[in-house]
Amino acid sequence: MPRRRDLLGMTILAGVGAVALWPRPHVAEAETAATANFPVTHTDAEWRKLLSPAAYEILRQQGTEFPYSSPLDRETRAGTYSCLGCGQNAYSSATKYDSHTGWPSFWQPLPGAIGERLDTSFGVERTEVHCARCGGHLGHVFPDGPPPTGLRYCMNGAALSFQPA
């Protein structure tokens, strides 16, 4: 039985990884239009220079990191999580919790820190979360979180920085 469970776990992880890396050709056009009205803007070439390849893929191309790959998922100190693209404070450690999904999760963002938009990639409707200041993709929000909001802001650790209190 343990071997079957391990094989099932590896199969699920491979599936999640394949979905995360699935090419999305429509992203470039959507990105140009979507970020035109944010206070912080850069050209694509400037973003590539400012961000690591992993952060660029997530923040500017709406990518997703592999689950359990970010040290921020395991971060437990008090502090603030900010958008890696522009430094906008986005989440307080007071609202962080372990969702057991492999991504840093929060039940509430800081006031005015994020925006949301419909994401229909992969043939499903989800709510994408982006930085209100630069439009960088941070993750998604789901209605299966803990009280008091019942929401799970499932963020990509590679799109965030952490400043201890």
> Which sequence positions are flagged as catalytic?
154
In the structure encoding, which two tokens stand for residue 153, read together?
């802001």
Choose among 94, 74, 78, 85: nearest CA to 163: 78
* DSSP 8-state class, residue 165: -
d(CA 58, CA 43): 16
> Rounded to the nearest 10 degrees, how much is the dihedral formed by the CA atoms of 75, 78, 84, 89?
150
SS3 of 162, please? strand
Taken in order 10, 12, 101, 160, the sign of the CA dihedral is positive
